[in-house]
Each structure stands twice: as structure tokens, then as C-alpha cells.
Structure 1
Amino acid sequence: MLNICNVGKIYGKNVVAVDDVTLNLEGGVVGLVGHNGAGKTSLMQMIATLTRPTSGQILFNGQDIVANPDAIRRRLGYLPQDFGVYPNLSALEFVQYFAALKGVSDPKRPAQVLEMVNLHGQAARQASTFSGGMRRRLGIAQALLNDPDILIVDEPTAGLDPEERQRFRHLLSEIGFRKLVIVSTHIVSDIEGMASSLAIMRAGKLVSHGTLDSFIAKARGQVWSATVRAQDYEALSQNVKVLQARRHDAGVSLRIAHPSIPCSGAVEVEPTLEESLMAPVQELTA
């Protein structure tokens, strides 16, 4: 479906935002993970044809979207990180407005997408009164108006409370059953329960791509649980990567990433996805 071939993006004379990225994607939810400034948003904007690559190709169903951007624009939904609403429009009027902009001729479609994101009961309510999570769902509604094959969502849970984050993750997971959903985030827990694969970016480069299970499998044997005396903790932490530390009466309970047993009494444990990405083996390029 989507083939990103040796894509690079340079701003100005020498600011490299994306560096020779190659990535082939089909269906499901793909988590695009990396720290702020890793190049995630620049890559997504190129896929959405908002900016052009400096080098390389992006193909959608075999068509070059740089040479022919309309090939993907008709089949694309995009929700940027900063998504505003028009204060004087109701939720239904808002999606009707975007339907007109996108050339969606079916008059029933705006109401349908509001139902898909569970906002049909709020259709007459002014969008400016919505909570952060409701606004994000309204943003997804407008992105789904043209029944896209690819949905791109940038930092979808930023600023949401825990309940809204969970609801939003579930919504994206359901959409991923039928579409290709690309979700950019630097918070691994946001995509742990919904992504079918991860693409990890660092300093503009794609450093690894695989299923969630493959990342966890690579980290097995490198994540440990241990309890140490409080006075021993500081010395140990200088030599190992401490993932979690919790003080209590018996000492300090630790989870540690290390390629071999880090201290006396340490027990190998099953890594979480977030711990897997911090284990030493994951620092190698795919």
C-alpha cells in the first residue's frame, strides 16, 4: 500500500529532519515512535503531501505521490497535533463544512462519522464547548469523511485525561482493523495496546521496524528485577540502566535493563514494551 523509499528531508542549508528512511507499510496500526525532534512529524507531513521530500520517493499503491499528490489525497485522512475547531459551529456543522471542502457528496456521511466516533449524541452542541478528548474525536471524524485508506494521526493523546486517552486508543485500534493507521507519539504506552507494529526514529533515521512481539522477544534475558539496600543503590545505578526504582522499608525495588545478571539476587523478568525499547539490544539498528 505505502512504500517510503530512501526519503530525506532537509530544511534550509543543513538541517536534516529525515535521513534516508525506507519503510513499507500495509494495514493495521503502525506506531511511529521517537523523541521530540526525531523526524516523525516531518515524515508524516511528507506522506500527507504537505511538504515535499528533498530526496527519495513515496509510493501509494505504486503511484509516486510527489509527482501525483492527488493519488493519495483522495484516500488520505490526516489529524495534526494542533487541531482547532470553529467556535460558532456545532459538531455536525463542523463536519459538514469539511465534507464540502473535501468534495464528499453523500449528505448522510457527516452524521455517519459522528456516530463512528461516538459523538452523534452531541451533534447539535457547539464544538467550542467540547473537552480535549471530544475535540480529538471530532478531528478523527473529519479525517474519516472521505473513507480514507490511510489515516495519519500526530501525537493523538497529547493533553487528554486517562479516560479519554483510553477511549481514543480504542477508537484508533478499531479503525486499524480496516485501514492503515500511522500514529506518531513519543509515549510508548499510548500505542502499546493498539499498534500492530512499531517504527522507531532517532535523529531523522529509522533505526528499527517490527512487530511489538519482536521487540519484546529481542529484549528477553535483558530485563531484571532486584531488591537492594538503599545504601547500595547509588553505586549500582552507575553501572546499569535502571528502568524503575521504588523505595520501601526493605530497601529499593528495581527493574533493570542489562545484558547479563546485574547484581546478586536479580531475577530475569518478562519485559514490557517500553522496557524492551530501552534494553541494550534495541539500540542496534535493524
Structure 2
Amino acid sequence: MLELQNVTKTFGKQVTAVDDLSLRLDAGVVGLIGHNGAGKTTLMQMIATLARPTSGRILFDGSDIVAKPEAIRARLGYLPQDFGVYRNVSALEFMQYFAALKGVRDPARIRRLLELVNLHEQANRMASTFSGGMLRRLGIAQALLNDPDILVVDEPTAGLDPEERLRFRNLLAELGFHKLVIISTHIVSDVETIAGHLAIMRSGRLVAFDTPDDILGRARGQVWTASVDAAEYDSLRASTHVLQALRQGSRFALRIAHPGPPCLGAQPAEPSLEEALMAQRYAVKEAA
């Protein structure tokens, strides 16, 4: 469905935001993971035809979207990280405006989408009175107006409370059964239970594209627990990668990423997905 071929984006002569990235994506939920500044937003802007690659091609169903952006725009839904609304209009008026821009002529669809994001009871409220979470939900509703085949959302849970985050994740998971949903985030918990694949970016490059199970499998045997005193804790901090440290009286309960037992008495631990990604990152650093 969507194929990126050796895509590079540079700014000036010094900054390479995306570096020779190739990737093929089909329907399902894909988590785009990376630290702030890894190049995620730039990549998503290129997919949404808001920026042009310096080199390389982006194909949607075989059509080059750089040469023919209309090939994807009518079938794309996009929620940027910084989503602005006209705050002197109601949620309903906002949706009607975007429906007109997208050529959607079905008023019932607007009502259904407001219900889907749990804003139907606030449809006539001014957007200026909405919380950050409500504005994010309004943003996803507008992104779905044209029933897109590709949904691109950048840091979708920013500003949401725990209940709203859960509702949002469930919605994106349901959409992923029939569409390609690309979720950019640096919060692993946003995608660990819903993404079929994770694309991991670091310094503009794609360093891995795997299922969560594959990532967890490679990390087994690289995450350890240990209980140590203060002196040994200081030593381990200098020689290993301590993922977590909890003080328990005069001792510290540690979780450590290391290719082998980091100290006497260390026990192998089942890694979380976030720990697995950190262990993989440390392994790449050490190999370099």
C-alpha cells in the first residue's frame, strides 16, 4: 500500500532529519517509535505531502506521491502533533467546515464521528471551552471525515488523561483492522498493545522494523534484576545500563540491561517492551 524508497530529507547543509529510509507498509497499526528529534514528524509530514523529500520516492498503491500528491490526499487522514482549531466556532461547525473542504456531503457522517470520539453531547460547545483531550478527539474526528485508507497521527495522546488515552488507543486499534494507521510517539505504552509492527527511528535512520514479540524475544536474557547496596549500585551505574532503581531501606532493587549477568546474584527478568527497546538501543551503542 505505502512504500518508501531511500527517502532522505535534509535542511540546509548540516541537518539530515531523515536519512536513506526504506519501508513498506500494509493495512494495520504501525508504531513509529523514536526519541524527540529522531525524525518521526518530518517523515510523517512527507507521507502527508506537507514536505517533499530531498531524495528518494514515496509510493502509494504504486503512484509517486511527490510527483502526484493528489494520489494520496483524498485517501489520507492526518492529525499533526500541534493541532489548531478555530476556537470561536462550535465542534459541529468545525466539522462542517472541514467536511466542506474534503468534499464530504453527508451530515450523518459528522454526527457519527462526533459520537465515535465521544463529543456528540458537546457538539454545540465552542472549541475555546474544550480541554486539550477534547481537542485531540476533535482532531481525530476531522481526520476520519473522508473515510481515509491511511491515517497518520503524530503524538496522538499528548494532553490526554489516562481514561482518554485508553479510549483513543482502542479507537486506533479498531481502525487498524481495515486501514493503515501510523502512530508516531516516544511513549511506548501508546502502541505496545495495538501495533502489529514497530518502526524504530534513531537520528533520522530506521534502525529496526519488527513485531513487538520479536523485539521482546531478542531482549530476553538481556534484562536482569538485582538487589545491591549503595556502593555496588554506584559501580553498576558506571559499568551497565540501569533501567530502574528503587530504594528499599539500605539497598537498591535494580533492573539492568546487560548482555550477561551484571553482578553476583542477578536474576534474568521478563522485559517490558520499553525495556526491550532500551536494551536494543544499548546493544547497538556498544556494538558501534
TM superposition score normalised by structure 2: 0.95
Aligned counterpart, 2:279: 279
Match of 1:19 in 2: 19
- How does 1:1-20 map onto structure 2 within 5 Å? 1-20=1-20
Point out the more displaced range, 141-150 or 27-36.
27-36
My pick for the range that moved more, 139-148 or 36-45, is 36-45
Give how far 1:280 is off: 4.4
What CA distance in whole angstroms lies between the structure 2 residues aligned with 1:258 and 1:15? 32
Q: Name the stretch that deviates more: 267-276 or 175-184.
A: 175-184
More displaced, 166-175 or 242-251? 166-175
Q: 1:282 to 1:106 in 2, by over 3 A?
A: farther
Partner of 2:124: 124
Note if contact 1:218-1:281 (Cα within 8 Å) is conserved in structure 2: no
Q: 1:198 and 1:179, CA in 2 relative to 1: closer, same or farther beyond 3 A? A: same
- Per-residue CA deviation, residues 148-188 of structure 1 (Å, 9 max, x unaligned), is 00010111122222222222222222221221111111121
Instruction: Kindly indicate whether the alpha-carbon contact (under 8 Å) linking 1:276 and 1:282 is maintained by their aligned counterparts in 2.
Output: no
Name the SS for the 2:191 alignment partner.
helix
How much has 1:250 moved relative to structure 2? 5.4
Separation of aligned partners in 2, 1:7 and 1:277: 24
* CA–CA separation in structure 1 for the residues paired with 2:30 and 2:146: 21
Structure 1 contact 218–282 (Cα < 8 Å) conserved: no
Alpha carbons of structure 1 residues 90 and 280: separation in structure 2 relative to 1, 3 Å: closer
Amino acid at match of 2:222: Q
Partner of 1:187: 187
- What CA deviation, in whole Å up to 9, does each residue of 1:182-221 have, x standing for no partner? 1111121222222211101111111111111110001011
Q: Which residue of 1 aligns with 2:61?
A: 61
Match of 1:95 in 2: 95
Matched, 1:172 2:172: yes
SS at match of 1:10: strand
SS at match of 2:107: coil
Distance change >3 Å, CA 280–CA 60, structure 1 → 2: closer
Partner of 2:106 in structure 1? 106
Corresponding position of 2:207: 207
Return the offset for 1:276: 0.3
Instruction: Tell me which amino acid in the other structure corresponds to 2:78.
Output: Y
How far residue 132 of structure 1 moved from its aligned partner, in angstroms, is 1.2
1:219–1:282 contact (8 Å) kept in structure 2: no
CA distance in structure 1 between the aligned counterparts of 2:251 and 2:105, rounded to whole angstroms? 66
Query: How far has the Cα of 1:67 moved from its partner?
Result: 1.0
Return the offset for 1:231.
2.8
Contact 2:241–2:282 (8 Å) recurs in 1: no
Unaligned 5+ segments in structure 1 are none
Cα pair 1:219 1:281 within 8 Å, conserved: no
Structure 1 partner of 2:253: 253
Report how many aligned residue pairs link the two structures.
285
Equivalent residue, structure 2, for 1:160: 160
Q: Mind listing any 5+ residue stretches in structure 2 that lack a counterpart?
A: none
Q: Per-residue displacement from partner, 1:256-285 (whole Å, max 9, x unpaired)? A: 110001111111111100000111477449
Moved more, 3-12 or 170-179: 170-179
Paired residues of 1:259 and 1:280 also in contact (CA < 8 A): no
| Equivalent in the alignment of 2:235 | 235
SS at match of 1:279: helix
Which residue in the other structure is 1:81 paired with? 81
In structure 1, C-alpha distance between the alignment counterparts of 2:113 and 2:280, rounded to whole Å: 44
1:3, 1:24 within 8 Å by CA — same for their partners in 2?
Answer: yes
Correspondence for 2:226: 226
Give me the identity figure in percent. 68
Partner of 2:133 in structure 1? 133
Question: For 1:75 and 1:283, how far apart are their aligned partners in 2?
Answer: 39
**Is the contact between residue 215 and residue 282 of structure 1 (CA under 8 Å) also seen in structure 2?**
no
Partners in 1 of 2:171 and 2:230 — Cα distance? 44
Cα root mean square deviation, aligned:
1.5
Partners of 2:283 and 2:25 lie apart in 1 by 22
Distance 2:118 2:27 in 1: 23
What CA distance in whole angstroms lies between the structure 2 residues aligned with 1:264 and 1:281? 24
Alpha-carbon offset, residue 35 of structure 1: 1.2
